[in-house]
């Protein structure tokens, strides 16, 4: 059963859910908005960025990025969660490449991979709410709590960076830029064709007039 805002607050108060640092103003009617954390890595810069100092992460068109949440998350053995991008970022063209579920028993900082599918850069300010977390209360505790490779993670790891570099592969950013240039050329061609729609009749009319004058001179 998905938790309401009241149930989320109650679960946090009694320790079934841990969000640190917790911001009560980020609780929505049935979810919590997690914020952009301190560290990020963008495929174009090839370096880890301290957003608490830099202030904002810019994800260029076609670029991949990995960033961590501000909040550390802990779930007990009867609580699961789903995460997704806030709609405002999805509408701007960002795609989340990370798994959508947080299993019962998970403890650690959420690390999320993103890709910008839009033709314009997308800004991710430090501590801006960007992920929606929905929490679910299970009928009974799970027999095998989460114990995967992300258990206990404290932020972006060397493996996260390596995976991101490998995912980028053959510079998808260049492909996107090429498609953008092609779209621009097509747009300019359409403009040229639009001009020809009135230029061609004019040329035909002038030609017909010249032919008429030549015919009159021969008579």
31 in a structural domain: yes
CA dist., res. 109 & res. 16, Å (int): 17
180 in a structural domain: no
CA dist., res. 86 & res. 131, Å (int): 5
> Omega before 53 cis (within 30°)?
no
- Which pLDDT value is given to residue 183? 55
- Which pLDDT value is given to residue 198? 47
- Which pLDDT value is given to residue 31? 98
24's enclosing H/E stretch is none
CA dist., res. 219 & res. 207, Å (int): 19
Q: Residue 27 is part of which domain span?
A: 5-169
Which residues, including other chains, have CB under 8 Å from residue 27's CB and lie 6 or more apart?
5, 8, 9, 33
Q: How many domains does the chain have?
A: 1
154 in a structural domain: yes
User: And the tokens for 72?
Assistant: 């550390």
Chain centroid to Cα 216, Å, comes to 71
For the chain, list residues with pLDDT below 50: 170-171, 175, 178-179, 192-200, 202-204, 206-219
- Burial of 214 by CB count in 10 Å (0-12 exposed, 13-18 middle, 19+ buried)? exposed
- Which pLDDT value is given to residue 217? 38
- Which pLDDT value is given to residue 181? 56
205 in a structural domain: no
185 in a structural domain: no
DSSP assigned state of 143: S
Q: Is 4 helix (H, G, I), strand (E, B) or coil?
A: coil
Residues in the chain: 219
Task: Tell me the C-alpha to C-alpha distance, in Å, between residue 34 and each of 8, 172, 190, 219.
Answer: 14, 28, 45, 89
Task: Tell me the C-alpha to C-alpha distance, in Å, between residue 162 and each of 30, 119, 143.
Answer: 35, 25, 33
User: And the tokens for 92?
Assistant: 């701007």
193 in a structural domain: no
175 in a structural domain: no
Whether residue 110 contacts residue 44, with contact meaning beta carbons closer than 8 Å, is answered with: no
pTM greater than 0.85 (yes/no) = no
Q: What are the tens digits of pLDDT across the range 128-159?
A: 999 999 999 999 999 999 999 999 999 998 88
Q: What is the CATH number of the domain that holds 138?
A: 2.70.40.10
**Helix/strand/coil percent split, the chain, to 5:** 35, 35, 30
16 in a structural domain: yes
């Amino acid at each position: 059963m998905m938790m309401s805002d009241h149930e989320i607050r109650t679960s946090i108060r009694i320790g079934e859910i841990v969000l640190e640092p917790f911001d009560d103003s980020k609780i929505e009617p049935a979810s919590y908005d997690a914020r952009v954390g301190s560290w990020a890595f963008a495929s174009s810069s090839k370096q880890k960025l301290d957003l608490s100092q830099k202030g904002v992460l810019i994800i260029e068109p076609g670029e991949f990025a990995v960033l961590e949440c501000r909040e550390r998350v802990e779930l007990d053995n009867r609580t699961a969660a789903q995460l997704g991008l806030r709609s405002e970022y999805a509408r701007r063209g960002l795609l989340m490449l990370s798994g959508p579920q947080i299993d019962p028993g998970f403890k650690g900082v959420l690390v999320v991979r993103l890709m910008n599918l839009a033709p314009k850069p997308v800004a991710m300010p430090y501590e801006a709410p960007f992920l929606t977390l929905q929490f679910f209360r299970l009928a009974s505790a799970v027999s095998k709590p989460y114990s995967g490779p992300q258990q206990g993670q404290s932020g972006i790891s060397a493996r996260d960076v390596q995976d991101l570099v490998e995912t980028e592969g053959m510079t998808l950013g260049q492909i996107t830029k090429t498609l953008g240039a092609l779209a621009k050329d097509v747009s300019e061609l359409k403009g040229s064709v639009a001009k020809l729609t009135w230029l061609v009749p004019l040329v035909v009319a002038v030609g017909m007039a010249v032919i008429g004058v030549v015919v009159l001179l021969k008579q």
